[in-house]
Amino acid sequence: MILTVIIFVAVLAVIILVHEFGHFLTARFFGVTVEEFGIGFPPRAKGFKTKKTLYSINWIPAGGFVKLKGEQGDHKGEEDSFSNQKIWKRAIILFAGVSMNVVLAVVIFSFAYIIGMPKAVETDLGAYARVSNRYVQVVDVYENTPAAEAKLLPGDILLSINGETPTSTDDIKNITQSHLNEPLTITYERDDKNFTTEATPKLLKETPDRPTIGIATVAVGDVSYPFFVAIWMGVKETGHYLWMIISSLWGMLANLVSHQPVNGDLVGPIGVAVITGKFVALGFIYLLQFVALISLNLAIVNVLPIPALDGGRILFLVLEKLKGGPVNQRTEAIIHNVGFIVILLLIGFITIRDIFQIDKINSLF
């Protein structure tokens, strides 16, 4: 439990620091003074100051922050002030955090493809793909079937069936279809432990033409690529998950607007911590993929036009462009502060909900 909490905090810190580092780099590039780059959140533990920037280490280890000169609308007219920059420069500085979260995902997925990432292997993986450690995994167990009676569960790895080691979904079909009404001895792996059970293939109502035990499976292997191909695959993987996240979010919003049931399960910090523990148990490569997905989710959420988030600040830049002058600074500050309070309240509500449905979260992941 303690290890999970430490890893969760470390994951969160890395993702937020990468985000803030994007703001830091672009601000420095455009000549905006960075007054403070903080690791963690105040109160401050230690710090050292260069000519313009204070680099601080703070006691709350949950990410970091960047404080830009003039980001509150002050220091107008000063060349190194954020508020004195052209709109397009300020927009790039604000968008840079989101961009760095996407870059982090590309780096992680690329690295995963260099060392070997678990992936379904019965698809076109390309000419340069190298596959190792092939195995067959259960992805679904249908109700009222021999597999359900045998207590098989999604996620189980099928090690052998009647002494044969399956390496493809066709192997599973061939074995079950040739043993109608004959018990099969199945050895499988679950949570790093091996178990043995029996299931008898039958002609079910859903499959009257072929014997089955009632499972859906997928052939998985560690897929790796040469360095430059791995980078391209990392970009493609990032694009794929970005599209999935955006589509899912759009679907949720569409359902809310049309008063339809919202599919999906929203979790807060406690839920994410629980899920982190699950991926830690699966292994390093799975944890890496999880970090990449969290980074992409943070990028998408942060770019939404919600007050207090980067997207909300960019929205005010758009309004400034349309208006031909800056929005009243006091009004903007109030809107961002209210937005921040609403976000905190929402996080608090989701966190309390997480506490009361830990078992459900555990069963989902």
Instruction: Identify whether residues 165 and 250 lie together within a single domain.
Output: no
Per-residue confidence (pLDDT) for residue 62, from 0 to 100: 66
| pLDDT tens-place string over residues 16-61 | 899 999 999 999 999 999 999 998 888 888 999 888 899 998 887 7
Cα Rg for the chain, rounded, in angstroms?
26
Instruction: Identify whether residues 73 and 11 lie together within a single domain.
Output: yes
Instruction: Identify whether residues 262 and 187 lie together within a single domain.
Output: no
- The CATH number for 201's domain is 2.30.42.10
Q: For residue 144, what are the domain limits?
A: 130-224
Which comes out higher in pLDDT, residue 280 or 70? Answer: 70
**Nearest 5°: phi and psi at 50?**
-90, -165
Got the DSSP string for 74-116?
Answer: -STT-TT-GGGS-HHHHHHHHHHHHHHHHHHHHHHHHHHHHH-
Q: Contact 153/190 with Cβ under 8 angstroms?
A: yes
How many Å apart are CA 39 and CA 304, to the nearest integer? Answer: 25
Instruction: Identify whether residues 260 and 357 lie together within a single domain.
Output: yes
Q: In the chain, how many domains are there? A: 2
How many Å apart are CA 184 and CA 172, to the nearest integer? Answer: 11
Q: Indicate if the pLDDT at residue 274 is higher than 80.
A: no
| pLDDT tens-place string over residues 148-187 | 999 999 889 999 999 889 989 999 989 988 888 899 999 9
Task: Indicate the residue among 224, 240, 262 that finishes a domain.
Answer: 224
In a domain, 301, yes or no: yes
Cis status, amide bond into 326, omega within 30 of 0: no
